[in-house]
């Protein structure tokens, strides 16, 4: 949709945003070793708390007895009758000197009631989360005599409404609900604004058969009851059976919503297992814990897969190409020995090759970097404690932050750890980002399996596991490939040109001219006109990577020599 709007407005189409990390609230809370909570309305959700978090709900008695009067629901046939009855109830309560808090389910309903109250010339305040700074203050003052406050279920929550002495004598704060919510918790939170700390108060809900909740679950039986009673327009029905029927409708809606949340959690549990495994590996790289063990596991897994693929196949060319592509080196075994090697022998040979190559690479980097580190420490040690070392794999240049003192004291071991850490973090983040996108696409595609009478969740689990294992295998190969190609980049063009310029002897202009004449005379041919130079190499753009593999842009490397 975002790209479609950009195309419509003729602006540059940006790439779609990509998620780097995801977690549901439930799995986020599960990360804590200890979990607890406190709320006044958790009793109705006790089953969900136990099912997801394995937490019991304990009800603590109130500090003072609740003397609030909770009336039975008042049921009307139409929304119009219900709202007219709400306005009349507000008018009656204001005349009695009681403050009124009107609860609505949406901003539109709160604005509609506000217009109706203005027609009756009843002063009131409207809270619908549009004026955040003033709303807490308005709610705190909602306990004054004759004060009418209209609030949505998201506005002013958590603020106590203080009552004046004359309001307590008049009967306390009156709660008027204009509709039953889908959750009993929200209704209880609205009722709980009144009757706090033993204060007097009352609450009543106005319901119509056209409300969303009643249309979905509870209207058929109540309509039949109304028809039997022969109620006319504007008449109200109020009975405990009606309230119980509405509460049952709320329970069914709560169960339906809980089923949706539980299903989403089951899908995220699949991702959570993968998330924990990849985050453990990332944490090891970030803090240096078990990083070398992780690299050893990568070597073991990659070599096992290669040995399994090529053992007893006589596919020498395929084996050689795989070793070249993955490990950037020629195999140390010849064709004859390869044909005779067993799977175990091939595995041990590959592991030995990789470790020797890795240690050689790290030793070469340390041999080149440590003298520079020592020089910087000797000359600028009072100013610099850390340096950034460029490391390239031939495609890109990574900047590795290194502590000078630790790198020198460890004889380059700290530098090797820094290189491995940066390569692991970048590779893990990149592959995990692509995996999240693949899992999102898989989640959408498996939903069609329900038409085949199959469980989409089971298919998501199986195929998600295969995707993850494939991603881990590609991640391991990518990390090893980068580690075994790592080197400190140099400007090879300049390094080769400078010695040639210095070694070339200076010759006088006369000798140069004479030399040219001798050349023409000895060949006995007149000088030929200059031929146009034909460049057989592909054209390289100024901002493209230089073909020499330094990792720099062409204009800053060999392109600079051409311009000079």
Distance, in Å, from the CA atom of 398 to the CA atom of 396, rounded to the nearest integer, reads 7
Rounded to 10 deg, the angle between the 456-485 and 316-327 helix axes is 80
Mean pLDDT in residue range 293-303? 92
Distance, in Å, from the CA atom of 483 to the CA atom of 422, rounded to the nearest integer, reads 10
DSSP type of residue 155: S
Q: Where do the H-state alpha helices sit in 393-506?
A: 404-409, 413-445, 456-485, 492-503
Which of 251-260, 394-403, 420-429 is predicted most confidently?
420-429
DSSP type of residue 106: S
Is residue 274 within 8 Å of residue 468, measured between CB atoms? yes
When mean pLDDT is compared across 175-189, 341-355, 393-407, 508-522, the lowest value belongs to 508-522
Q: Where do the H-state alpha helices sit in 288-403?
A: 291-310, 316-327, 335-340, 343-380
Which of 96, 75, 77, 239 has the alpha carbon at shortest distance from 170?
96
pLDDT in the model for residue 218: 57
How would you classify residue 488: left for phi > 0, otherwise alpha for psi between -120 and 50, otherwise beta?
beta
- Kindly give, in sequence order, each residue whose CB lies less than 8 Å from that of residue 336, ignoring residues fewer than 6 positions away: none
First to last CA, the chain: 49
Q: Give the chain's domains with CATH numbers.
A: 2-53 (no CATH), 69-259 (3.40.50.300), 291-485 (1.10.3060.10)
- Kindly give, in sequence order, each residue whose CB lies less than 8 Å from that of residue 490, ignoring residues fewer than 6 positions away: 550
Q: Which three-class secondary structure state does DSSP give residue 14?
A: coil
Which of 84, 40, 65 has the alpha carbon at shortest distance from 187?
40
DSSP type of residue 490: -
Q: Give the Cβ contact number of residue 105 at 10 Å.
A: 19
Q: What is the pTM of this model?
A: 0.69
Provide the pLDDT confidence category of residue 260 given band limits of 50, 70 and 90. Answer: confident
Phi and psi at residue 319, to the nearest 5°: -65, -45
Q: Which three-class secondary structure state does DSSP give residue 83?
A: helix
Is residue 456 within 8 Å of residue 449, measured between CB atoms? yes
Q: Is the pLDDT of residue 538 over 80?
A: no
Quick one: what percent of the chain has pLDDT higher than 90? 33
Residue 389 has which token pair? 């070392």
Provide the pLDDT confidence category of residue 280 given band limits of 50, 70 and 90. Answer: very high
Q: Is the pLDDT of residue 283 over 90?
A: yes
Q: What angle do CA 83, 122, 190 make, to 5 degrees?
A: 55
Instruction: Identify which has the larger pLDDT, 88 or 240.
Output: 88
pLDDT in the model for residue 551: 66
Beta pairing partners, 173 = 201
Q: What burial class does residue 316 get, using C-beta atoms within 10 Å of its C-beta: 0-12 exposed, 13-18 middle, 19+ buried? A: middle
Distance, in Å, from the CA atom of 499 to the CA atom of 504, rounded to the nearest integer, reads 9
Is residue 78 within 8 Å of residue 86, measured between CB atoms? no
Contacts 24+ apart (CB under 8 A), 440-446: 440/19, 442/467, 443/267
Beta pairing partners, 74 = 206
Provide the pLDDT confidence category of residue 477 given band limits of 50, 70 and 90. Answer: very high
Is residue 368 within 8 Å of residue 361, measured between CB atoms? no
Provide the pLDDT confidence category of residue 55 given band limits of 50, 70 and 90. Answer: very high
Q: What burial class does residue 329 get, using C-beta atoms within 10 Å of its C-beta: 0-12 exposed, 13-18 middle, 19+ buried? A: middle
Beta strands 100-104 and 397-403 are unpaired
Distance, in Å, from the CA atom of 41 to the CA atom of 186, rounded to the nearest integer, reads 8
Mean pLDDT in residue range 384-399? 88
Provide the pLDDT confidence category of residue 212 given band limits of 50, 70 and 90. Answer: confident
Q: Which three-class secondary structure state does DSSP give residue 339?
A: helix
């Amino acid at each position: 949709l975002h790209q479609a709007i950009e195309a419509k407005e003729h602006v540059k189409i940006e790439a779609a945003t990509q998620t780097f990390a995801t977690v549901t609230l439930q799995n986020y809370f599960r990360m804590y070793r200890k979990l607890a909570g406190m709320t006044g309305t958790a009793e109705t959700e006790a089953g969900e708390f136990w099912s997801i978090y394995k937490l019991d709900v304990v009800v603590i008695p109130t500090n003072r007895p609740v003397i609030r009067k909770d009336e039975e629901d008042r049921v009307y046939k139409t929304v119009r009758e219900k709202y007219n009855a709400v306005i009349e109830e507000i008018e009656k309560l204001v005349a009695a000197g009681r403050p009124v808090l009107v609860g609505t389910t949406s901003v539109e309903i709160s604005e509609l009631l506000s217009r109706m109250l203005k027609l009756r010339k009843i002063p009131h305040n409207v809270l619908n989360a549009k004026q955040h700074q003033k709303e807490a203050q308005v709610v705190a003052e909602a306990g004054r005599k004759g004060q009418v406050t209209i609030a949505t279920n998201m506005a002013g929550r958590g603020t106590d409404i203080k009552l004046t002495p004359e309001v307590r004598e008049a009967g306390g704060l009156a709660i008027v609900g204009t509709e039953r919510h889908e959750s009993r918790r929200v209704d209880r939170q609205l009722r709980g604004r009144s009757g706090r700390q033993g204060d007097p108060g009352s609450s009543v809900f106005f319901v119509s058969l056209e409300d969303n909740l009643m249309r979905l679950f509870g209207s058929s039986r109540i309509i039949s009851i109304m028809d039997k009673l022969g109620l006319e327009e504007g008449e109200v029905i109020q009975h405990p059976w009606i309230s119980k029927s509405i509460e049952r409708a709320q329970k069914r809606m709560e169960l339906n919503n809980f089923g949706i949340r539980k299903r989403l959690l089951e899908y995220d549990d699949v991702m959570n297992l993968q998330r924990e495994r990849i985050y453990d590996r990332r944490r090891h790289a970030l803090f240096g814990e078990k990083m070398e063990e992780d690299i050893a596991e990568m070597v073991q897994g990659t070599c096992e897969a290669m040995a399994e693929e090529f053992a007893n196949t006589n596919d020498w060319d395929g084996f050689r190409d795989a070793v070249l592509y993955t490990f950037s080196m020629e195999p140390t075994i010849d064709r004859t020995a390869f044909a005779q090697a067993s799977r175990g022998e091939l595995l041990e040979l590959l592991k030995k090759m990789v470790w020797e190559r890795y240690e050689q690479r790290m030793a070469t980097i340390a041999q080149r970097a440590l003298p520079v580190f020592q020089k910087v420490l000797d000359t600028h040690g009072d100013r610099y404690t850390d340096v950034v070392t460029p490391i390239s794999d031939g495609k890109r240049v990574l900047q590795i932050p290194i502590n000078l003192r630790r790198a020198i004291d460890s004889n380059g071991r700290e530098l090797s750890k820094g290189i491995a850490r940066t390569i692991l973090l970048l590779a893990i983040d990149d592959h995990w980002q692509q995996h999240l996108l693949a899992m999102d696409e898989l989640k959408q595609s498996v939903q069609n399996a329900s038409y085949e009478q199959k469980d989409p969740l089971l298919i998501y689990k199986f195929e998600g596991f295969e995707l993850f294992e494939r991603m881990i295998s590609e991640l391991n190969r990518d990390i090893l490939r980068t580690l075994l190609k790592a080197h400190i980049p140099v400007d090879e063009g300049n390094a080769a040109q400078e010695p040639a310029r210095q070694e070339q002897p200076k010759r006088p202009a006369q000798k140069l001219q004479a030399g040219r004449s001798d050349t023409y005379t000895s060949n006995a041919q007149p000088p030929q006109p200059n031929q146009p130079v034909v460049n057989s190499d592909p054209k390289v753009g100024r901002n493209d990577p230089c073909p020499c593999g330094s990792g720099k842009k062409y204009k800053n490397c060999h392109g600079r020599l051409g311009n000079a």
